[in-house]
Structure 1
Amino acid sequence: MKVTTALLALAVVALLFSAYASWTAGRLDRLHHRVELARAALETELARRAALVAELAGAGVLDPASSLLLLDAAHRARTAEPEDREQRESALTRAVNATGTAVEPWSSELALAMRRVQLARRFHNDVVVSTRDLRQRRLVQWFRLAGHAPMPSTIELEDGR
């Protein structure tokens, strides 16, 4: 009778552990999916900003040197390789700030695009931090609940904050 009780208790503990591990693995999967969605949203906002800057540079409302600086920075940001992307996007931010683009109606639209990049990056980095925190738990590491998913990384840009 004691053996039956012990086996039943062991089965209950194993069932609870399995349920917790399954819930954690599902949560981790959802977090990884949110990281991918946040990264895609950030990429979209960066592309919109670069397109707006290129459009401003070609509009003929700035002096030729500012136009050339902005157009070059926007082109470099759009065509950057993944390993150079953060530097090129930061250079675009510096170029926008250096030219002091206070030309209406461009200034409000450009300010909005810059703010959207800031928000998208902040959201992405928050989700990455949450995912990394969960992945660093011992249970997740010991039982490889993250599978083969790569560890997500934050995006560090000079985005005018």
Structure 2
Amino acid sequence: MVAWAVLALALFGFYLSWRATRLHRLHHRVDVARAGLEGALARRRSAVLALAGAGCVPRAGARALEEAVAAAGEAGERRLDLAESRLSRVLRDVVEEAGPGGAASAPPVRAEVEAAAKGVHIARTFYNDAVSDTRRARRSRIVRVFRLAGTAPLPDYFEIDDRPPRTAPPAARPDTL
């Protein structure tokens, strides 16, 4: 009878160890996804600065873009979401105000801004998925009772307005038959 109790206790200990390891991996996944998100945000800021310097947007728009990029670059952890959302809004306003002619005068720069904006959306999706999985695992009663998460802070979602600016559709190519 004692052997069964020891075996059950050992199996329960292995189970707790497995859960703690899983939580550690989930927290690591959140950290890696956050680093990817910060890299995507930095790439978008760089692309927006290139757009502002390319001369394909009005001077006032370029100045507004540069100010929004500077604010996003200097924003702390608590205000990063607000600064990046503001950058998205300013970018949309400036590109849509410039119209297809202004943005079309620098297609490589415009393509880089579009790719960077899509990258931010994808990175934010991956990060929020990792946060969701981690939070779901931490809600488990066994994790809370045995404090398997340790002192790791509960990760927060990163919600920003990352809708890219509308650009003109590519020119239609004539059909060649």
Match status 1:23 vs 2:26: no
Scaled by the length of structure 1, what TM-score is found? Answer: 0.92
The structure with the largest helix share of the pair is: 1
- 2-structure distance, mates of 1:58, 1:79: 20
1:82 is displaced (CA, Å) by 1.4
Paired residues of 1:93 and 1:159 also in contact (CA < 8 A): yes
Query: Which residues in structure 2 correspond to 1:35-54 (within 5 Å)?
Result: 35-54=30-49
Q: 1:131 aligns with which of 127, 130, 134?
A: 134
Give the 3-state SS of the residue equivalent to 1:61 in structure 2: coil
Paired residues of 1:54 and 1:75 also in contact (CA < 8 A): no
Give percent identity, aligned residues only. 41
- 1-structure distance, mates of 2:42, 2:112: 14
1:11 is displaced (CA, Å) by 1.1
- 1-structure distance, mates of 2:108, 2:150: 49
Scaled by the length of structure 2, what TM-score is found? Answer: 0.84
1:158 is displaced (CA, Å) by 0.4
Unaligned runs of 5+ in 2: 97-102, 165-177
Paired position in structure 1 for 2:167:
none
1:105 is displaced (CA, Å) by 2.1
Paired position in structure 1 for 2:66:
71
Paired residues of 2:54 and 2:109 also in contact (CA < 8 A): no
Match status 1:107 vs 2:110: yes
Larger displacement relative to structure 2 (98-107 or 136-145): 98-107
- 1-structure distance, mates of 2:48, 2:110: 11
- 2-structure distance, mates of 1:135, 1:159: 28
Q: 2:124 aligns with which of 103, 110, 121?
A: 121
Paired position in structure 2 for 1:157:
160
Unaligned runs of 5+ in 1: none
Give the 3-state SS of the residue equivalent to 2:132 in structure 1: helix
Paired position in structure 2 for 1:84:
79
Query: Which residues in structure 2 correspond to 1:49-60 (within 5 Å)?
Result: 49-60=44-55
Paired residues of 1:49 and 1:114 also in contact (CA < 8 A): yes
- 2-structure distance, mates of 1:16, 1:126: 31
1:61 is displaced (CA, Å) by 2.2
Q: 1:87-132: per-residue Cα shift (whole Å, max 9, x none)?
A: 0000011111111263322222111100000000000000011001
- 2-structure distance, mates of 1:100, 1:127: 32
Paired residues of 2:135 and 2:154 also in contact (CA < 8 A): yes
Letter in 2 for 1:145: L
RMSD: 1.2
Number of residue-to-residue matches in the alignment: 156
Larger displacement relative to structure 2 (52-61 or 81-90): 52-61
Match status 1:61 vs 2:64: no
